[in-house]
Amino acid sequence: MDQLLIRTHNGLIQGYVQNGVRTWKAIPYAEPPVGERRFRKPLPARPWAGVRSGDMTVPLAPQRVNPTGGAFRLKRDQIPQSEDCLYVNVWAPDEPAPQPLPVMVWIHGGAFVTGGGGLPIYDGSELARRGGLIVVSLSYRLGPLGFTHFSPFSGESEDGYVSNAGLLDQIEALRWVKHNIAAFGGDPQQVTVFGESAGSMSIAALLAMPAAQGLFTRAIMQSGASQAISDSHGRLLTKGLLDILGIPEDQLERLQEVPAEEILRAADELKQAAGASAVMLFQPVVDGKLLPVTPLEAVAAGSAAGIEIIIGTNRDEGALFIPEGMPMLTKEQNARAYTAVTGSKEAASWIEAYPATVEGQRQAMTELFFWRSALQFAEAQLPHAAVWMYRYDYAMVPGDPLLGTAFHSAEIPFVFNNLDLLAGAGMPVNEEMRSVAECMQEAWTSFAKRGQPSTPSLPWPAYDAEERWTMVFGADSAVTRDPDADKRRMLTGGSDKRTT
């Protein structure tokens, strides 16, 4: 058998060489979640006859698409959308290695409502080629189709409508990796999951879910930590969605006949009714079974014992969400929003410390939502495994309202070292940017291969409760000791072991 024709448990798939690596795209890991399978748990993909082509495009899960292409100007409105979206892509070095290679599995972000594992910005070619490992990306159900809290309305049926369907998809994809990645040259005992935003929040949930135990050994969490709504909140949102669709709680089978576009429209209407200060409507829910408690509680209790973690945030996360000229929320709306997303009654007083300006509110979102949750998650995991903390500070285009900041998601093309894609979209790319990309990529792949991100050119000590070493990625990347210590203490209520 040649090096591109791979036998998986489901059948043969023919790969191809792209960008100097072997590539297999659109490999099904589960049955299509359509018709009677909509809103139900994923089932393993069925075997296929003959040889499947590995050069097909993975469709996006049904979603709303930004026609401008977003911050990186990478338009996706021409990519097909389909509920039949449960696929993985695999990249491997051009030459098979004598020993099984470590594996990195990417879980994409997008607020649990947009994105897809097949987007070009997530192409794993450079990671596989330069890192000498196997890279996998996965897609999962999104929005109301992936994160509606149906289990309380579905009775005791073993195969009824579920909650957290999108997380169950991710677990099924990781099971596929465990059972099949050896055929591509990967080591199923050395799997690192990495993800950004909702992808990182998904990893936090996976670390708390009993069904995900044993499916990965390390985790990299970029700009996202413990995020979940309560059972009661999830029930209210589900009831609201059903009311808009005109479907009684005892007639869920009617959902099978509703076009996906109509379900998306109902979700849009629900979001509009929820108001300007509403948090993400569709996200992981603490259902008491699949996700027994919040990810933060579970990790603090040792659910992820032994799993090493890199976790961090970007210096200007809020810049992506609060553009120049955006109307500011009222003081009351802000207080409600941050109380909801932080789960702390103190948030109403914290928000008072930030000016009611675009810059002030950007900083508030960065620190209260992203940085605070990352710090809490790191603290929770410290007794159970090694943790490394980072902050991404690099600004691609100084002076630009957005690209001149280290905005939410700005690190992604650097982690994947896909800067040529940005250049093709008309963005300026220089040698300094390429140096930052190589630095980050080397740290990420070192962690996946050796369990620690230090490299000969950039030592990176682990985070601890005394020194709180934090890697700051920028034009001159370096580790720093306990950045913004006073603010950290305020946000986490933490006390220091270190004597100052």
* Cβ atoms of residues 20 and 125 within 8 Å: yes
pLDDT score for 1? 47
Residue 487 within a domain: yes
pLDDT score for 278? 65
Structure-model confidence comparison of residues 276 and 424, the more confident one: 424
Nearby residues of 391 by Cβ (< 8 Å), 6 or more positions away:
312, 313, 314, 315, 470, 471, 472, 473, 483
384 is catalytic: no
DSSP type of residue 169: H
List the catalytic residue out of 202, 408, 411, 442.
408
pLDDT digits (tens, 9 = 90+) for 477-486: 999 999 999 9
Residue 276 confidence class, pLDDT cut points 50, 70, 90: low
Residue 498 within a domain: no
Name the token pair of 312.
């961090």
Residue 148 within a domain: yes
Does the global pTM surpass 0.85? yes
Could you write out the DSSP letters of every residue in 204-257?
HHHHH-GGGTTS-SEEEEES-----B-HHHHHHHHHHHHHHHT--GGGGGGGGG
Residue 225 within a domain: yes
Mean pLDDT of the chain: 94
List the catalytic residue out of 83, 196, 317, 379.
317
359 is catalytic: no
What's the mean pLDDT in 127-134? 96
pLDDT score for 492? 85
Asked if residue 342 has pLDDT above 90, the reply is no
List the single range of 51-60, 67-76, 380-389 with lowest mean pLDDT.
Answer: 67-76
Asked if residue 277 has pLDDT above 60, the reply is no
What's the mean pLDDT in 208-221? 98
List the single range of 67-81, 257-271, 419-433 with lowest mean pLDDT.
Answer: 67-81
What's the CA gap between 33 and 83, in Å, rounded?
Answer: 6
What's the mean pLDDT in 279-300? 95
* Cβ atoms of residues 262 and 126 within 8 Å: no
Expressed in angstroms, the distance from the first to the final Cα of the chain is 64
Pairing of strands 12-14, 5-7: antiparallel
Residue 497 within a domain: no
Domain of 309?
Answer: 5-492
pLDDT score for 346? 81
Residue 469 within a domain: yes
3-state class of 463 per DSSP? coil
Residue 448 within a domain: yes
Please tell me the total count of domains within the chain.
1
DSSP type of residue 137: E
pLDDT digits (tens, 9 = 90+) for 402-456: 999 999 999 999 999 999 999 988 888 999 999 999 999 999 999 999 999 999 9
**262-289 exposure pattern, b = at least 16 Cβ within 10 A, e = fewer:** ebbebbeebbeeeeebbbbbbbbbbbee
Residue 104 within a domain: yes
Asked if residue 497 has pLDDT above 70, the reply is no
List the catalytic residue out of 197, 226, 446, 477.
197
* Cβ atoms of residues 194 and 187 within 8 Å: no
What's the mean pLDDT in 20-49? 97
Measured CA to CA in angstroms, residue 178 lies from 25, 62, 330, 405 at distances of: 18, 27, 49, 39
pLDDT digits (tens, 9 = 90+) for 155-201: 767 789 999 999 999 999 999 999 999 999 999 999 999 999 999 99
CATH number at residue 181: 3.40.50.1820
317 is catalytic: yes
Residue 500 confidence class, pLDDT cut points 50, 70, 90: very low
Strand order in the sheet with 12-14: 5-7, 12-14, 51-53
pLDDT score for 59? 96
Pairing of strands 387-392, 308-314: parallel
